[in-house]
Structure 1
Amino acid sequence: MAEKESLPKITKITTQKRKGRYNVFIDEHYAFPISEDVMIKFRIFKGMEIDKKLRAEILAADDVSKAYSKALAFLSGHLRTEHEIEQKLKEKEIPEPTIQATLVRLRDLNLVDDEQYAESYVRTMARTSDKGPIVIRRNLRQKGVLENDIDQGLAEYPDEDQVQNGIEIAKKLAHHYQREPLTKMKQKVRQGLMTKGFSGDVISQILEQTHFEADPELENEKLNAEFAKVWRRNRRYVFSQRKMRTKRTLYGKGFSIDAINVLLEQQTDSEGI
Structure 2
Amino acid sequence: MAEITMIEAQKRSGRFNIYVDGHYAFPVSESVLVDFRLFKGMEVDKDLESRLAAADDVSKAYNRALDYLSNQLRTEKEVRDKLGTLEIPPETIDQTLQKLRDMSLVDDGQYAGSYVRTMMNTSDKGPRVIRQNLRQKGVGEQVIDDALKQYTPAERMTVGTAVAEKLAKRYHRQAFGTQQQKIRQGLMTRGFDSDEAGAMLESLELTPDVDEQQELLAKQGEKMWHRYRALSASERAYKTKQALYRKGFKLDDISRWLADFGESD
Structure-1-length-normalised TM-score: 0.90
1:53 aligned to 26, 43, 47, which one? 47
- Cross-structure match for 2:111: 117
Show CA shifts across 1:218-252 (max 9, x none): 53332222110222334455545544443333223
- Cross-structure match for 2:215: 221
1:86–1:99 contact (8 Å) kept in structure 2:
yes
Which residue identity does 2:134 align to in structure 1? L
- Output aligned runs, 1:56-205, within 5 Å: 56-205=50-199
Unaligned runs of 5+ in 1: 1-6
1:126–1:157 contact (8 Å) kept in structure 2:
yes
Deviates more, 1:41-50 or 1:248-257: 248-257
Secondary structure class of the residue paired with 1:30? strand
Alpha-carbon offset, residue 265 of structure 1: 2.7
1:41 aligns with 2:35: yes
Alpha-carbon offset, residue 17 of structure 1: 1.5
Q: 1:255 and 1:64, CA in 2 relative to 1: closer, same or farther beyond 3 A?
A: same
Q: 1:257 and 1:22, CA in 2 relative to 1: closer, same or farther beyond 3 A?
A: same
1:247–1:260 contact (8 Å) kept in structure 2:
yes
Deviates more, 1:116-125 or 1:254-263: 254-263
Q: CA RMSD in A?
A: 1.9
Deviates more, 1:112-121 or 1:246-255: 246-255
1:17 aligns with 2:14: no
Q: Distance in 2 between matches of 1:93 and 1:14?
A: 28
Q: Distance in 1 between matches of 2:100 and 2:243?
A: 62
Q: Distance in 2 between matches of 1:58 and 1:270?
A: 94
Show CA shifts across 1:45-88 (max 9, x none): 11111111111111111111111000111000211000000011
Show CA shifts across 1:165-218 (max 9, x none): 000111111111111011110101111111111111211221121233555555
Deviates more, 1:225-234 or 1:129-138: 225-234
1:31 aligned to 5, 8, 25, which one? 25
Q: Distance in 1 between matches of 2:16 and 2:264?
A: 99
Aligned-pair identity (%) = 50
Alpha-carbon offset, residue 20 of structure 1: 0.9
Secondary structure class of the residue paired with 2:50? helix
Unaligned runs of 5+ in 2: none
Secondary structure class of the residue paired with 1:266? helix
Count of matched residue pairs: 265
Q: 1:237 and 1:91, CA in 2 relative to 1: closer, same or farther beyond 3 A?
A: closer
Q: 1:28 and 1:225, CA in 2 relative to 1: closer, same or farther beyond 3 A?
A: same
Q: Distance in 1 between matches of 2:102 and 2:226?
A: 74
Q: 1:171 and 1:269, CA in 2 relative to 1: closer, same or farther beyond 3 A?
A: closer
Q: 1:268 and 1:69, CA in 2 relative to 1: closer, same or farther beyond 3 A?
A: closer
1:174–1:189 contact (8 Å) kept in structure 2:
yes
2:244 aligned to 226, 240, 250, which one? 250
